[in-house]
Every structure is written in C-alpha cells, then in structure tokens.
Amino acid sequence: MPLLDIVDLAATFVFAWSGAAQGVRRRLDLFGVLVVAWAAAVAGGIVRDLLIGAVPPAAIADGRYLAVATVAGLLGFAAAGWAGRFQTLVLLLDAAGLALFAVSGTQKALAAGLDPGMAAVLGTLTGVGGGVARDLLTLRVPVILRAELYAVAALAGAGVVALGHWWGVAPLLAQGVGAALCLGLRLGSIYGGWHLPRARR
C-alpha cells in the first residue's frame, strides 16, 4: 500500500474517532454517531478530490475509507462510558488528524499537477473540512471560526509540503516536517493558549 494511502487512512481513522466522540457528547444514537464519524473522516478529502477532478472521490470509490470510519465510529461509541477519561486522547487525535490530512491533501494536490500555492490551499481544506462538518452536524460553531490555531496550523503544515516540493526536497521529509509543525501549532493552541488576535469590543 502506498505511503500516502496509509497516511490518508490513518487520518480517516483519527478524525472518525474524534467525530464519534463529539457525537457521543451530544447524546446522539448509534446511527447519528456513525454519520458524524463518517462526515468528520471524509468531508475534507471529498472536497479536495472534487476540486482536483478526481471523481468519484476516493472516500466514495474506495471501500476502505467507509470501513475505517465505521470501525473508528463504533470504537468511539463503545467507549462512551469512558468519554471523560478519553477527552485528552480525542483532542490529540483531532490534532493528529488535522496534521495528517493537511500534508496528505497537499501531496495529492501536487500529484494532480496543481501549483504549490493552490496545493497548500487544498491541503488546508482537506485538513479543516472534516472538523467543519463535524461541528456543523453537532450544532457547534466550527473551531476554525474561533480564535484557536486550527486552519492556521493546517496551512502552515501544508505550506511546508508545498515549499518542499518547490525546492525539490524529498516528499517524505517535507511531509514529516509539515505534519510536525501543524501538530506543534495545534497542541500549542490547545495547551498553551496560542491564538489569533481577537477584536476589542
């Protein structure tokens, strides 16, 4: 299995678990939890694939995505009794999913022939799309519209991959550095309170 597919499926799993955990917290039934898990796992990738003309999108054409999202959703639902204990884990999974999707989305866009700048934008959309779908389905203001470093973290990671491609850096190295930067910024936002400026009222 190509490394890019492994990264994409790993991100699918962690975002699906994050979506399932949020569905459980919002008191959804099993079907609702699985819907939120699947939307969180594949929304960003579907948007990316449609924009680069890869139709049908991989998340629909490849049954592995549905299988991975379903397994993660069921695990998240089964762990509902320990939801409080897993809150930190869910935050870490969401941050990891953001980083993995940002770099894999950028790499797929580059492979489709997009210039580095637009590839970084699509990588960012891949990273944040699942979180937006998850939050909207559970009636929350999407995290990217708040002051936390979420989309900015994804854009930073995607930008590293795009710049690495432009400068001829080995893709694996660029993806590793990009994912680490995205993850570091997101964790800094969660645990260090890093955020964008807020308007004064």
CB 102 within 8 A of CB 123: yes
Task: Identify the burial level of 148 via C-beta atoms within 10 angstroms of its C-beta, where 0-12 means exposed, 13-18 middle and 19 or more buried.
Answer: middle
- Percentage of the chain lying above the pLDDT 90 cut: 67
Copy the structure tokens of residue 100: 């993995």
- CA angle, 98 then 162 then 58, to 5°: 55
Q: pTM (2 decimals)? A: 0.88
Residue 102 pLDDT class (50, 70, 90 cuts): very high
* Nearest alpha-carbon partner for 17 in 99, 63, 62, 83: 83
When pLDDT is cut at 50, 70 and 90, the band that residue 84 belongs to is low
Range 49-56 contact pairs with CB under 8 angstroms and sequence separation of 24 or more: 49/108, 51/122, 51/125, 52/108, 52/109, 52/112, 52/114, 52/122, 53/112, 54/108, 54/112
Q: What pLDDT digit, counting tens, does each position of 109-126 carry?
A: 999 999 999 999 999 999
**Residue 75 contacts residue 64 (beta carbons within 8 Å):** no
